[in-house]
Amino acid sequence: MKKSFIRAFANTAITAVAFSVSCAVYAGSLVLTSSDIGDGKHMAKTQEYTGFGCAGGNLSPQLSWRGAPEGTKAFALLVHDPDAPTGSGWWHWQVVNIPAGTTSLPAGAGAVNSKLLPKGASQNTNDYGEKAFGGACPPVGHGVHRYRFTLHALSKPLELPENASAALTGYMVKAHTIEEATIEALYKRD
């Protein structure tokens, strides 16, 4: 009887710990989704840049998220191509100070002087030199490039200079990130 009691107690304790750990992981997990792009999937010509030899739609994709962690005061969205032949990749989009209550951005929110971004959010200069979304435009024949759309839940809104560099923006975003979620979309030009 003593052994069966100990075994039953141990099984109950293990089940309780496993349940609380799985709930804790699920409850605070930030999830990023899109109706336009997918993790490990090739983007459409709609997300290709217009310029630099590319002739796409240059339309930022629709993005939605859920599971913001406790303490989130704002969001930042950074889009980077680590495969660009520059030595440091290529910044395609940087949006900071998206209000904490926001849970999505519609397609086209990354246009120059966008009216689709929530009040308070601002776009920083991308590597094309525009305060906007700049679509994929890898060199012809360079193979598949990865485009990391990363949403950061921030512990506070950021105070950045008007023309902050991508490196400074990235540094400040990383310094105040509570949790992040990424969709890694793909693109190539033959």
**What is the total count of domains within the chain?**
1
At 91-150, the pLDDT tens digits run: 999 999 999 999 999 999 999 999 999 999 999 999 999 999 999 999 999 999 999 999
| Residue 21 lies inside a defined structural domain of this protein | no
Tokens 């002087």 label which residue? 113
Which among 19, 105, 8, 5 is positioned nearest to 63, based on CA atoms?
105
Instruction: Please report the pLDDT score of residue 5 as a whole number.
Output: 37
Q: pTM here?
A: 0.85
Phi and psi at 159, nearest 5°, equal -110, 105
- State the Rg of the chain over Cα: 20
Q: Does residue 18 belong to any structural domain of this protein?
A: no
Which tops the pLDDT comparison, 5 or 1?
A: 1
CA angle 30, 33, 34 (to 5 degrees): 155
Dihedral angle over CA of 15, 17, 23, 29, nearest 10: -130
Q: How confident is the model at residue 28 (pLDDT cuts 50, 70, 90)?
A: low
| Distance separating alpha carbons of residues 82 and 76, to the nearest angstrom | 18
Domain membership flag for residue 1: no
Q: In what order do the strands lie in the sheet with 177-187?
A: 122-123, 90-99, 74-81, 145-154, 177-187
SS3 22: helix
Domain enclosing residue 65, as ranges: 30-187
Residue 113 covered by a domain: yes
Note the pLDDT of residue 101: 96
- Residue 153: which CATH number? 3.90.280.10
Bridge partners, residue 95, by sequence = 77, 123
Averaged confidence pLDDT in the chain: 88
Q: Does position 20 have pLDDT exceeding 90, yes or no?
A: no
> Using CA atoms, how far apart are residues 120 and 46, in angstroms rounded to an integer?
27
Rounded average pLDDT over 46-75: 97
CA 68-71-74 angle, to 5 degrees, is 65
